[in-house]
A and B are shown apart, each in its own frame.
Chain A
Amino acid sequence: MAISTPDGPLIYDEQNYLGEDPGLTRVYDNIMGTVPGVLLPAVKMVVWNAIEEFYWRSTWRRELLNWCMPSNVICVDFNPFDGNWLVAWVLDVYGCGQYTVRPPSMIVDVGHPPASGAREGKALVALKPVSLDAEFDPQLFMNWFETILDGSLYRLYLQPVKPYSSPQLASAHAKQFRVGCQRARAIAQKQYTNGPGRWTFNYYADGRRKS
C-alpha cells in the first residue's frame, strides 16, 4: 500500500502485500490482484485443490521408509505419515518376499505359504499434505510457485457464470499446470537432480555402440 508522508515521498509498505508467510499469501495476493471479483474463501479452496493435485500428480515429496512386519502380520499401513503429511502413493517396495500395494498406503504380504517370523524392508512413498494448514516443504513455493498459481487460476477460470469465468484462460493455465507437474515428477524421479538423472556409461559398457 502506498502511504504519503507529510514531508517525504510516497513510501511503499509491502507488509500487507507480502504478508507473514511469503509462500501462501503470495499465491493469494497474486490471484486476488489478477482475478476480478474473486473472494478469499474461493481462492483458498482452489489453492488447496491445486496443491493437493500437484503433490498427487508429481509425487514431488518422496520418502524412503523402513518397515517391519512382525510374525503373523501380513500388512503394514504407512498412513498417517505424520501430523502434516499422508502417503498418497507407495511407489516401490523392497524386501524379501512378495508384496502387493493396497492404495493408497498399505502393503500386503501375498507370499504363499505365509512367511513365518518377522519381515522387514524398505518402501518408497510419495506424500501429500493433510490440509492447507500443513507445513509445506519450503521448495513448494520456491520452485513451483508458478505451477501452483496455474493450478489455482485454471480452477477459478473454469467455474461457470462468475465474473471471472474464461474457458480460454482456464485451458491455458491447465496446460501449464500439467506441464509443471510433469516436470516436478521428472525431477523427483531423478532424485531431485535436474540433470541427466542416470549414470552414463562408455559406449561399450552394454555391448553396443551408442547411437
Chain B
Amino acid sequence: MLMTRPTVGQLLLDARAVLNDTVPITGSTRYSDTDLFQAFNAALFEARAKRPDAFLEMGLRIDVPSFGPGDELQLFPLDQIFYPLFLNYIVGKSELREDEFAAEGRAVAMLNKFVTGLLQVAS
C-alpha cells in the first residue's frame, strides 16, 4: 500500500475536474489558479474558526498559512480527512461567481456540505 499525502496542487486539480473547468472550444480554464488558491485559503480560515483542533499540529498561536500560485507541490496542510471537505468548499466558492456556467444551487449545497462535514458526523 502506497501512502502519500496529497498536495495542494492535486486538490486544485480535483476541484477543476468537478467544476468541469475546461472550456471545450478554446481549451482554456474558467477559473485561474489565483481564484482557486483564494478559495483554498478561505477554506483554511473557515476551518480554523470551526475546527481549531485541526491546527493543533501546525500550531494555534501562529497565523493561518496562506498559499498562492507556485505552491502546488506543497503538501495538504491538514489531516487527510479534511481533503474532501476542502474540495467541496473550493468548488462551492468558485461556483458562487456570477457567470453563465455557474450553478448557484450546487454552490450553496457544496458550501453547506463543507460546514456540516466539519461539525457533524452526518454527511
Q: Which residues of A contact B (CB under 8 A)?
A: 36-37, 39-42, 45, 159, 161-164
Contacts and interface: CB of A to CB of B under 8 A. Distances in A.
Most buried by B among A37, A41, A164: A37
Interface in B35-89: 50-51, 53-54, 56-57, 79, 81
A42 B81 contact: no
A164 B51 CA distance: 12
Interface string B110-123: 00000000111100
28 contacts: A36-B121, A37-B81, A37-B121, A39-B53, A39-B54, A39-B56, A39-B57, A39-B79, A39-B81, A40-B57, A40-B79, A41-B53, A41-B56, A41-B57, A42-B53, A42-B56, A45-B56, A159-B53, A161-B50, A161-B119, A162-B51, A162-B53, A162-B119, A163-B118, A163-B119, A163-B120, A163-B121, A164-B121
A34 B79 CA distance: 18
Interface residues of B, number: 12
A190 B54 CA distance: 43
B59 to A, nearest CB: 10
A156 B61 CA distance: 21
A39 B77 CA distance: 14
Interface of B: 50-51, 53-54, 56-57, 79, 81, 118-121
A155 B74 CA distance: 33
A192 B51 CA distance: 43
Contacts of B79: 39-40
Nearest to A156: B53
Contacts of B51: 162
A4 to B, nearest CB: 12
B53 to A, nearest CB: 4
Contacts of B81: 37, 39
A161 B119 CA distance: 6
